[in-house]
Amino acid sequence: MKRHSSQFQLPFVSVLVKRLAVIGCLLTVVFSYWISLILPVQGQPSLTAPKSCQIGIYLTSLRDFVPADKSFTATFWLWSVCPFENPNPLESLKLLNSREVNTNYNRTSPSENKSALFKANQKVFWSEQEISTSLYYNWDTRNYPFDRHVLQIILEETQLDASKFVHIPDFANTSYQKELDLEGWEITNFKISQENFPYQTGFGRPSKKQEITNRSRLVISITINRKNKVSFFKLSAGVYAAVALSIMTLLLDEDFGDRMGIFVGTLFAVLVNMQTATSDLGSGNTVTLIDFIHIMAMLYIFVTAILLVYTRFLSEDEQDSRYLMRRIAVPVLGGSFTIFNIVIIGYAVIVG
């Protein structure tokens, strides 16, 4: 009886041992693969965190908004706090889209570290500069004078890529002088941010195989709204007066030649005013709100001139045109032009 039992158990034990061996092999393979993922490959150095410095900015002047010249001017203080003396990030920063840059003050000094920044360092290196610059900006004045703009001051590291050095924005101290005279504008938002900007090139360096190089950037974004609308009234008042005068000629019983002379004068005034507005706003390649108002004004003057010619034909046929002009044409033209202006100006206010 015992011999029969042992013969029964031997095949079962053999199968169990084989299955355990297979499971052990699978677990060994999975563990080896996991180890290969978390450990650095032999002969390659492990990745290290890039160096960093804290950078801040304080804006002291924002002026010379010239849409025709596509530019504005800014003056600001720039500082850095680093746990090392070299490299100095202020020396390798490049101001993008600048036309002219003047550095009025520049200094670096070691300082005792009493802040929560770089806690492991008892001493840090603090640098500061005062910079005055003229920057390129493509002013979008299509919705003038209700346009809103985001001016940007962009500072980029030029010597080290983002794998070796990145900026840390100084959110706490970055700000602007509240008493700035912005020439009819107001600041509605001011912020600083950091980004790694990719370049689709290794800049030809033989030691690099990668095709993309990332550079650390600091972006200061300043949102401004136009506060003064007086200039819009100056540019549009003549247009509205010209359209009103042309429509009012339909109420007159004067000579046809005299009334046609009024149309020629109003049309010429609108054309000259439109050229002046285009020059001031620097909007030669786009149709702005002001341009649209001028174009529609010329169209209304032209339609009114056609009605005037029609009244001439009616008078030659000895037909009275006063009812048609005074009760229908004048209210329709005046009312539609008013509604048209309310709609397009309301849209410009919303879109900005």
Domains of the chain listed by start with CATH number? 51-226 (2.70.170.10), 230-351 (1.20.58.390)
Each as own residue / partner, the long-range contacts of residues 48-51 (CB below 8 Å, 24 or more positions apart, any chain) are 50/162, 50/163, 50/164, 50/165, 50/166, 51/84, 51/87, 51/160, 51/164, 51/165, 51/166
- pLDDT at residue 259, rounded to an integer: 66
- pLDDT at residue 37, rounded to an integer: 54
Cβ-Cβ contacts under 8 Å for 291 (sequence gap 6 or more) = 274, 277, 278, 283
Which residues, in sequence order, are bridge partners of residue 1? none
- pLDDT at residue 1, rounded to an integer: 46
Residue holding tokens 């050095």? 165
**pLDDT lower than 70: segments of the chain:** 1-27, 29-47, 207-210, 253-259, 282-284, 315-323
- Using DSSP's 3-state secondary structure scheme, residue 288 falls into coil
Q: Residue 255: CA atoms inside 13 Å, Cβ hemisphere, count?
A: 3
CA torsion sign, 315 to 318 to 319 to 322? positive
| H helices, E strands: number in the chain | 7, 10
For the full predicted model, state whether its pTM sits above 0.85. Answer: no
pLDDT digits (tens, 9 = 90+) for 67-77: 888 899 999 99
Backbone dihedral region for residue 239 (phi beyond 0: left; psi -120 to 50: alpha; all else: beta)? alpha
pLDDT digits (tens, 9 = 90+) for 155-187: 999 988 888 999 999 999 999 998 888 878 999
Start-to-end CA span in the chain (Å): 99
Residue 117 CA to residue 124 CA, distance in Å, equals 9
Q: Tokens at residue 322, please? A: 């006063």
With the CA atoms of 96, 98, 102 and 103 taken in that order, what torsion angle do they form, in degrees rounded to the nearest 10? -10
